[in-house]
Amino acid sequence: MQAVQTDRQKTIQYASSVLLGEPQDGSTNRIELGIAEIRTLVGEVLEHESAGRLSPTFAKAYKVLVLNRVEESLAMDILQSLRVPSTIEYEALKTIVIEEMVRRLPSAAPPPSRDASKPTIIALVGPTGVGKTTTIAKLATKFRLQQGRNVTMITADTYRVAAVDQLQQYADLFDTPLLIAGTALQMKESIASCRDSDIVLIDTAGRSAADRDRIEETASILEAANPTEVHLVLSSATSLTATKRATERFSVTRYNRVITTKVDEAVTMGEMFSTLCTMRSPLSWVTNGQDVASHIDLAKPEKIVQSIFDTNSR
């Protein structure tokens, strides 16, 4: 541990000397690493100094946010943006903080409209393991069984036999067609055969956020579908770093909605809140369990925020 600390100190000292204009021998990478460390440390110091200057009531609210994994800089920015006296009671402050947090989230997207002239095409994209296939089944339940709409499901996930089999079981249960489209041409042909459908649900293969080629392949297939809505599916149980990376890497798919899944598995919604605050796409659906009939709801930003202060509300 001591050796690691010594190396870190040397790197920081080296970067400091470069910033001060002192000539040194060494690699550019080491300079950049040292500068990054300095910025991080300075940020941490300023953050803690700012937290120390908060009134007891504001400090309590800050602690609640940070302990629930809201990004520290975001938590501080939220509190510093409020124009209220420092002597305010905590419960009153909490109400105002919740209102400000809701304001910072993307708005909730309206449910798909009923357009008799053409089907509404809804595609789901996202990293592996976030629950896209199960979410497709839940949406099919909503639209087919609960709303009586004509639904067609299309899967572009030809990499996993289990995913196709799972959707086929639901297609049989809902009495809806299931089409397989592993290429852009197959997708175009599949969409052309869905003229009589009200809703077309497209499942795509899960892609690692690190695999740009596969993500672009998904984007190419979706382009042939010309979807009405493209939903980026993010797991609430995933780390802030991973979800932020996914929002950036999947932008090539031109997603225009966000679905948050596995709310029941998340320790807190603070990290998801922090991610959503960086996005412009509206929230569409939230899933919170395995039951396809009941564990999906239209997204409500205020409920996401409230859950950070009251975990029992989820």
pLDDT digits over 194-228, tens only?
A: 999 999 999 999 999 989 999 999 999 999 999 99
* Rg from Cα positions in the chain: 24
**pLDDT at res. 129:** 92
Mean pLDDT over the full length of the chain = 86
Residue 314: pLDDT band with limits 50, 70, 90: very low
Using the predicted structure, report yes or no on whether residue 10 has a pLDDT greater than 80: no
Find the distance separating the first CA and the last CA of the chain, reported in whole Å: 41
Please state the domain extents for the chain. Answer: 1-53, 54-104, 120-313
- Is pLDDT of 11 > 90? no
Lowest mean pLDDT among 13-27, 254-268, 282-296: 13-27
CA angle 107, 201, 155 (to 5 degrees): 130
Contacts of 272 (CB under 8 A, 6+ apart): 234, 236, 243, 260, 266, 304
- Looking at residue 250, its pLDDT comes to 97
Separation of alpha carbons 291 and 182, rounded Å: 28
Question: What pTM does this model have?
Answer: 0.80
CB 229 within 8 A of CB 112: yes
Question: Does 44 score more than 80 pLDDT?
Answer: no
Element housing 207 (H / E): none
What's the count of helices (H) and strands (E) in the chain, helices before strands?
A: 12, 8
Read off the pLDDT band of 294 (50, 70, 90).
Answer: confident
The superfamily in CATH containing domain 120-313 is P-loop containing nucleotide triphosphate hydrolases (3.40.50.300)
